[in-house]
């Protein structure tokens, strides 16, 4: 599939069938994720595939948090599989590196016909405990994975010309 089409297809899905997600497909997508660039080729990431019913339930509970009077990630208990992205705490550009890996992963999932949702809000201590993450690693992001029941939405983005400058901030497009 062409990259632009893949980017247009990938979206944050919050409703999934309960069909089992093939672990070999997830490993194939993680193979792509781990090819992402990282600062000084540090590759600080570790991936945790979460498909065990009890671990999923504990993680789903930790992912549901109050934010500005609303509960976010209410759909978490219905997610058939999660992948947690952890990074070495002392890695210099850990968040940037893991962000690149997460994006590669989500595009690979879309190419395989799987939906995903990047979930950053969480009760971190509960999530770390549920996943048994050692102290020298930080849980950065959890990605919900499954076969989406949602239609692909059209992207609503700001006009590129309003965001683009030449040579210095504020110099509008030529």
The answer to the question of residue 110 being in a domain is yes
Distance CA 96, CA 48 (A): 19
The answer to the question of residue 84 being in a domain is yes
Look at residue 173 in the predicted model and tell me its pLDDT. Answer: 62
Which tokens belong to 169?
């901030």
pLDDT confidence of 103, banded at 50, 70, 90?
A: very high
**CATH code at position 59:** 3.40.109.10
87-111 burial, b at 16+ Cβ within 10 Å, e below that, comes to bbeebeebeebbbbbbebbbbbbbb
Order of strands, edge to edge, in the sheet holding 81-88? 45-50, 81-88, 137-146, 115-119
Look at residue 172 in the predicted model and tell me its pLDDT. Answer: 87
Residue 24 domain boundaries = 3-163
The answer to the question of residue 173 being in a domain is no
The answer to the question of residue 90 being in a domain is yes
Summarize pLDDT for 112-122 with one digit per residue, the tens: 999 999 998 99
Look at residue 140 in the predicted model and tell me its pLDDT. Answer: 96
The answer to the question of residue 135 being in a domain is yes
Under 8 Å between Cβ of 145 and 109:
yes
Identify the H or E element spanning 85. strand 81-88
> What are residue 53's phi and psi, to 5 degrees?
-55, -45
Task: Give the residue-averaged pLDDT of 43-65.
Answer: 97
Summarize pLDDT for 64-86 with one digit per residue, the tens: 998 888 999 999 999 999 999 99
Look at residue 105 in the predicted model and tell me its pLDDT. Answer: 98
Number of domains in the chain: 1
Sequence-ordered strand ranges (E) for the chain: 45-50, 65-67, 70-72, 81-88, 115-119, 137-146
């Amino acid at each position: 599939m062409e990259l632009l089409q893949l980017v247009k297809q990938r979206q944050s899905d919050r409703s999934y069938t309960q069909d089992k997600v093939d672990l070999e497909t997830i490993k194939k997508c993680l193979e792509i994720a781990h090819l992402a660039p990282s600062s000084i080729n540090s590759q600080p990431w570790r991936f945790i595939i979460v498909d065990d019913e009890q671990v999923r339930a504990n993680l789903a509970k930790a992912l549901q948090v109050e934010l500005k009077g609303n509960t976010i990630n209410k759909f978490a208990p219905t997610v058939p599989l999660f992948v947690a992205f952890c990074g070495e705490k002392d890695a210099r550009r850990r968040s940037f590196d893991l962000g690149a890996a997460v994006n590669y992963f989500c595009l690979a999932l879309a190419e395989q016909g799987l939906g995903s949702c990047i979930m950053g809000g969480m009760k971190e201590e509960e999530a770390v405990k549920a996943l048994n993450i050692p102290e020298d690693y930080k849980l950065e992001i959890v990605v919900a994975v499954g076969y989406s029941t949602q239609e692909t939405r059209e992207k609503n983005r700001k006009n590129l010309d309003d965001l683009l400058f030449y040579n210095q901030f504020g110099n509008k497009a030529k």
